[in-house]
């Protein structure tokens, strides 16, 4: 079977790596891929944001199945376009992807279907934001409607700051483009949990739970990033918790969508806060998380292609995935300065030595390869991921491999998974 993966990050490298292990995959391509992916898949030039270009590439490549990594092509309707042409693709339609592409849609949908989430109001003007702020205690969360690559959420400490941020969201000063709606949301306290399920539009199968580290600095300080590391271990969500999350969140989403005439197929990512009032949804993503995917797929012992096909063909069952009881840990290595400005083009050394650390896989994100060498080409450069029977060993192995790697101004957090170790 010929598979095409769309995207260029660490998540896509993990997808390519896992899909390649399927005995039924004979050929795997990635558009556009990155330095590391191109060692394991045929890379095809192209822009995942350009649907016309993607369709032309697919016409040439003739894949049996296309797997979409990032949210943007999904929110632009790539699945709808493929379906219209009878092409097999893995992921939700544009209407279903609104759960990610519109924060206000997601909040209103959750309210309609009784899915636990924080209190909120949707504001359509600066004045409405200022007036509605009276309904919330501090800090308060502001969420810009629309895809914002992780930059659309601000936690404001004062009402003045919240009013100013809301105004900047609406004017376009904050994100480059104006937004018409801003969600004000109560600040929720607790530990965060990332919970993915696979859906075929009717039934869901859970993936193992994981935890991301969003902030740039150790001890969860500093600016928000795309994610600086993740780990996965069974104790993050026991069987009873998984059943609760399926019954109160994942199934109501898929059934709620269906009742509104929309089939939700593909991956549903639930970003949760474990509060004293129970788990609450912070956000939905309509695709695999990054870097959670790297940690989660490291624990998958069954065939990912089977799961992709089950979603497309409508035969997802709860026990579809076979998971290892091992723990996993992914440490993201980034360019110095990220998530602010950074310099690319630095030569990366020590990748081979890192790859030799037992049960470690180095996933590439922002890299290019030329003349046999690898160079940085993005903020998040690598996701060094390890698997071991105990979390502590997985963390140690990941850091052992990270220490083999070097490039100018390389940065990584040294405390990925540390809080989980302390808790246990």
Q: Which residues bind ligand AMP (CB under 6 A)?
A: 118, 141, 143, 153, 185, 187-188, 192, 214, 271, 282-283
Phi, psi for residue 227 in degrees, rounded to 5 = 135, 125
Angle between helices 304-313 and 10-20 (to 10 degrees): 100
* Residue 211 vs 376, nearer CB to ligand AMP: 211
**Smallest distance, Å, CB 237 to ligand AMP?**
17
* Residue 58 vs 282, nearer CB to ligand AMP: 282
Please identify which residue in the block is written with the tokens 């969003």.
Answer: 214
**Smallest distance, Å, CB 214 to ligand AMP?**
5
**Smallest distance, Å, CB 108 to ligand AMP?**
15
* Residue 57 vs 188, nearer CB to ligand AMP: 188
SS (H, E, C) the chain: CEEEEEECCHHHHHHHHHHHCCCCCCEEEEEECCCCHHHCCEECCCCCCCHHHHHHHHHHHCCCEEEECCHHHHHHCHHHHHHHCCCCEECCCHHHHHHHHCHHHHHHHHHHCCCCECCEEEECCHHHHHHHHHHCCCCEEEEECCCCCCCCEEEECCHHHHHHHHHHHHHCCCCCCCCCCEEEEECCCCEEEEEEEEEECCCEEECCCEEECCEEECCCEEEECCCCEEEECHHHCCHHHHHHHHHHHHHHHHHHHHHCCCCCEEEEEEEEEEECCEEEEEEEECCCCCCHHHHHHCCECCCHHHHHHHHHHCCCCCCCCCECCCEEEEEEEEECCCCCCCCCCCEEECHHHHHCCCCEEEEECCEEEECCEEEECCCEEEEEEEEECCHHHHHHHHHHHHCCCECCCEEECCCCCHHHHHHC
**Smallest distance, Å, CB 210 to ligand AMP?**
13
Please identify which residue in the block is written with the tokens 């300065």.
Answer: 337
**Smallest distance, Å, CB 166 to ligand AMP?**
15
**Smallest distance, Å, CB 386 to ligand AMP?**
24
* Residue 4 vs 282, nearer CB to ligand AMP: 282
* Residue 71 vs 309, nearer CB to ligand AMP: 71
* Residue 17 vs 284, nearer CB to ligand AMP: 284
Do 20 and 1 touch, CB atoms closer than 8 A?
Answer: no
**Smallest distance, Å, CB 189 to ligand AMP?**
7
Please classify residue 42 by burial: count the beta carbons closer than 10 Å to its beta carbon, then call 0-12 exposed, 13-18 middle and 19+ buried: middle
**Smallest distance, Å, CB 118 to ligand AMP?**
4
* Residue 43 vs 144, nearer CB to ligand AMP: 144
**Smallest distance, Å, CB 153 to ligand AMP?**
4
* Residue 27 vs 191, nearer CB to ligand AMP: 191
**Smallest distance, Å, CB 240 to ligand AMP?**
24
* Residue 150 vs 172, nearer CB to ligand AMP: 150
Angle at 53 between CA 49 and CA 59, to 5 degrees: 130
**Smallest distance, Å, CB 132 to ligand AMP?**
15
Q: What count of other Cβ atoms lies within 10 Å of the Cβ of residue 26?
A: 10
* Residue 71 vs 326, nearer CB to ligand AMP: 71
Residue number of the CB atom closest to ligand AMP: 283
* Residue 224 vs 392, nearer CB to ligand AMP: 224
């Amino acid at each position: 079977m010929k598979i095409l993966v769309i995207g260029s990050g660490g998540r896509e490298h993990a997808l390519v790596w896992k899909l390649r292990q399927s005995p039924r995959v004979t050929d795997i391509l990635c558009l556009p891929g990155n330095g590391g992916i191109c060692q394991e898949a045929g890379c095809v030039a192209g822009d995942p944001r350009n649907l016309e270009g993607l369709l032309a590439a697919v016409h040439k490549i003739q894949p049996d199945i296309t797997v979409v990594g990032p949210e943007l092509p999904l929110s632009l309707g790539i699945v709808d376009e493929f379906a219209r042409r009878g092409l097999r693709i893995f992921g939700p339609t544009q209407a279903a992807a609104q759960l990610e592409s519109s924060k206000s849609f997601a909040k209103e949908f959750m309210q309609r279907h009784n899915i636990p989430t924080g209190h909120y109001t949707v504001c359509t003007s600066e004045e409405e934001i200022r007036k509605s702020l009276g309904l919330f205690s501090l800090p308060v969360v502001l969420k810009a409607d629309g895809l914002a690559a992780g930059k659309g959420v601000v936690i404001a400490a004062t009402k003045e700051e919240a009013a100013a941020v809301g105004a900047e969201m609406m004017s376009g000063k904050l994100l480059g483009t104006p937004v018409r709606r801003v969600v004000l949301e109560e600040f929720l306290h607790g530990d965060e949990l990332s919970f993915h399920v696979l859906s075929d539009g009717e039934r869901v199968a859970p993936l193992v739970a994981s935890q991301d580290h969003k902030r740039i600095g150790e001890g969860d300080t500093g600016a928000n990033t795309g994610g600086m590391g993740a780990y996965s271990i069974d104790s993050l969500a026991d069987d009873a918790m998984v059943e609760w999350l399926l019954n109160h969140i994942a199934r109501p989403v898929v059934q709620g969508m269906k009742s509104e005439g929309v089939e939700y197929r593909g991956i549903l990512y639930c970003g949760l806060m474990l509060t004293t009032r129970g788990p609450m949804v912070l956000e939905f993503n309509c695709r695999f998380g990054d870097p959670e995917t790297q940690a989660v797929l490291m624990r998958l012992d069954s065939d990912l292609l089977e799961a992709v096909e089950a979603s497309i063909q409508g035969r997802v069952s709860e026990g579809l995935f076979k998971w290892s009881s091992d723990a996993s840990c992914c440490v993201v290595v980034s360019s110095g300065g990220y998530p602010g400005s950074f310099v690319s083009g630095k030569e990366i050394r020590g990748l081979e030595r890192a790859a030799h650390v037992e049960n470690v896989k180095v996933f590439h994100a922002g890299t290019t390869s030329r003349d046999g060498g690898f160079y940085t080409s993005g903020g998040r450069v690598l996701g060094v991921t390890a698997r071991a029977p105990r979390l502590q060993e997985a963390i140690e192995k990941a850091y052992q491999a990270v220490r083999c790697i070097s490039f100018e101004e390389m940065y990584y957090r040294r405390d990925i998974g540390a809080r989980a170790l302390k808790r246990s």
